């Protein structure tokens, strides 16, 4: 399909996603960029529900800034996040992250892609999550497992590599729509086009989806 045709198709998909999931947002609970950054790191290979259950009370009672985690120390922090997959490595990663935030950013989460991806353990996906959800950036494509799967099924992308997927989608989706597209296609992946059993019969994209089972 030519780039122009892909742009036309992406436009139709973007519109339908907006109509069906106008309020789609991040499933991690947070009250500050710091909380979302920590929870995003913890959510790797773990469910958002589990991370929220563990972290929401902790943010409320003790971890409001990098300093709070550093002061509490690795042992206590590790014990407090024990219910999260790979808590040991993640605790170490978050302590390093807090050190850098404290030393180089006065304890604040920076608001640019370059600064975020320079932080330990923060890749483009996590940086895009922060930029879109906390800093109001619209020109970010959040390449998570749902976006990757559903965009592939819909024939919008050909690549498997996250950086290439990001580039492909940035070429065919206008900047102002990229963040919302990411949130909404993620929602579609959770609710309709799920990995094990896509619900093609009730999918509002089935007439234009090459992977439709009907």
Q: At what angle do helices 175-191 and 162-172 cross, to 10 degrees?
A: 120
Asked if 72 and 63 touch (Cβ cutoff 8 Å), the reply is yes
* Closest distance to ligand SF4 from the beta carbon of 41 (Å): 29
Q: Which is nearer to ligand SF4, 102 or 144 (CB)?
A: 144
Binding status of residue 20 toward ligand SF4 by CB under 6 A: no
- Find the length of the chain: 214
What does the block give as tokens for 124?
């483009």
* Closest distance to ligand SF4 from the beta carbon of 189 (Å): 8
Asked if 28 and 51 touch (Cβ cutoff 8 Å), the reply is yes
User: What part of residues 77-106 is at the interface with ligand SF4 (CB under 6 A)?
Assistant: none
Q: At what angle do helices 3-20 and 162-172 cross, to 10 degrees?
A: 90
Choose the catalytic residue: 48, 68, 139, 144.
144
Contacting range for ligand SF4; rule: CB under 6 A; set: 17-25, 84-92, 127-135, 191-199:
191-199
Binding status of residue 199 toward ligand SF4 by CB under 6 A: yes
Contacting range for ligand SF4; rule: CB under 6 A; set: 22-30, 53-61, 94-102, 206-214:
206-214
Binding status of residue 211 toward ligand SF4 by CB under 6 A: yes
Active site residue 144: yes
The DSSP letter of residue 148 is H
**Residue 120 neighbours by CB under 8 Å, 6+ apart:** 93, 96, 97, 100
Active site residue 71: no
Q: Compute how many residues bind ligand SF4; rule: CB under 6 A.
A: 14
User: What part of residues 142-181 is at the interface with ligand SF4 (CB under 6 A)?
Assistant: 150, 153-154
* Active site amino acids: 125, 144
Residue ranges binding ligand SF4 (CB under 6 A): 150, 153-154, 192-193, 198-200, 203, 205-206, 209, 211-212
């Amino acid at each position: 399909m030519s780039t122009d045709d892909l742009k036309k198709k992406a436009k139709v998909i973007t519109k339908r996603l907006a109509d069906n999931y106008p309020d789609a947002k991040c499933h991690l609970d947070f009250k500050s960029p710091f909380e979302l950054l920590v929870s995003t790191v913890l959510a790797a290979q773990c469910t958002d529900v589990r991370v929220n259950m563990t972290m929401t009370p902790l943010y409320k009672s003790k971890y409001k800034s990098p300093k709070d985690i550093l002061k509490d120390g690795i042992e206590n922090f590790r014990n407090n996040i024990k219910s999260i997959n790979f808590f040991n490595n993640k605790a170490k990663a978050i302590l390093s992250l807090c050190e850098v935030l404290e030393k180089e950013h006065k304890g604040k989460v920076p608001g640019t892609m370059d600064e975020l991806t320079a932080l330990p353990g923060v890749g483009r996906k996590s940086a895009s999550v922060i930029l879109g959800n906390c800093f109001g950036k619209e020109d970010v494509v959040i390449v998570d497992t749902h976006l990757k799967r559903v965009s592939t099924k819909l024939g919008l992308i050909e690549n498997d590599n996250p950086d290439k997927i990001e580039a492909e989608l940035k070429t065919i989706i206008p900047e102002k729509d990229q963040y919302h597209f990411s949130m909404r296609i993620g929602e579609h992946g959770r609710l309709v086009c799920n990995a094990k059993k896509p619900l093609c019969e009730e999918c509002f994209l089935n007439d234009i989806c090459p992977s439709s089972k009907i």
